[in-house]
Amino acid sequence: DIAKLLHTVVELNQLRILDVSDKPRNANGRYDAVDRICSPEALPLLEHIDLSGNQFGFKLSDARALLENHPRLTFAGFASWLSSHEHELEGIYRLSHHYPHITMLGDRGDQLLLNTLTRNKDRAFYLQHALHSIFEATSNRESVKPDLLQAVLRVMRLHLRRMEMILAGTAVIYNLTRSEQSNQLPLDLLNRAVRMTLTAMEKFPEYRQLQKNCFLLYAVILCFIVLL
């Protein structure tokens, strides 16, 4: 029983690391024990907590209380909070500015998404969701993000057998390289993007949408390389 487990966890006063991240599947709403976890009396030595997937129905107000009441925290994972409203996801991002000493994972904000990509290399669900969030965030915005591009390429290289990951990755790379400012990206990084595009095309020749993504991406990047 998860509720009993939570009540047991909050009694562990010497606990420093708590990782309860998982795929989102909470259908029970917010657990009562969330109040205890967020209180200053519970887990006074806590330094690392990963709540990605939001199994227990945390709200933005809970995340705020958790951070305020646990001054030893240096890491807090709030990625893939699928059931949360947009204002809560944005609120997590704003909280990260109030606690710059805490490494945070989240669904909004370049740095939080970058942290999610780099901290969850083997967790396909979180990576897929982060790629989707990056795609949405960059669809109507032109900017140069070499760190994000490098992280996306790394994720694609690690998950070459997952077509859905490669499809999402190529769409994100297109958004990150279509800007006129992309000629400011390092040439080596653009070359790596080209190589990854060619690899994706060879790996999944039967998927038309992926091939379309790759052709568009290939053309855009080659134009910038020629100009350089």
Sketch the domain layout of the chain as residue ranges: 1-108, 122-228
CATH of domain 1-108: 3.80.10.10
Taking the alpha carbons of 127, 130, 136, 137 in that order, is the dihedral positive or negative? Answer: negative
Best CA proximity match to 152, nearest among 205, 113, 109: 113
Q: What is the pLDDT of residues 146-200, one digit of tens each?
A: 999 999 999 999 999 999 999 999 999 988 888 776 777 888 998 898 899 889 8
Q: What is the pLDDT of residues 131-151, one digit of tens each?
A: 999 999 888 876 668 999 999
Please name the residue that has the structure tokens 């809560």.
Answer: 88
Is the distance from CB of 194 to CB of 225 less than 8 angstroms? yes
Output 59 or 228, whichever has higher pLDDT: 59
Average per-residue pLDDT for the chain: 89
- 173 to each of 149, 152, 163, 191, how far by Cα in Å? 7, 7, 15, 12
Taking the alpha carbons of 54, 55, 61, 67 in that order, is the dihedral positive or negative? Answer: negative
Q: Is the pLDDT of residue 78 over 70?
A: yes
What confidence score (pLDDT) does residue 191 get?
87
Environment class of 48 (CB within 10 Å of its CB; exposed 0-12, middle 13-18, buried 19+): middle
CA 221 to chain centre: 25
Q: How far is 171 from 39, CA to CA, in rounded Å?
A: 42
* pTM exceeds 0.85, yes or no: yes
Q: How far is 31 from 211, CA to CA, in rounded Å?
A: 45
Stretch 91-97: mean pLDDT, rounded? 96
Helix (H) or strand (E) holding 158: helix 146-158
Residue 77 DSSP label: E
The two three-digit tokens of residue 191, written as one number:
């070359």
Residue 191 DSSP label: H
The two three-digit tokens of residue 10, written as one number:
């909050």
In sequence order, the 6+-apart residues with CB closer than 8 A to the CB of 33 are 3, 6, 7, 10, 56
- Which of 47-61, 192-206, 209-223 shows the highest mean pLDDT? 47-61
Using pLDDT thresholds of 50, 70 and 90, give the confidence band for residue 109.
very high
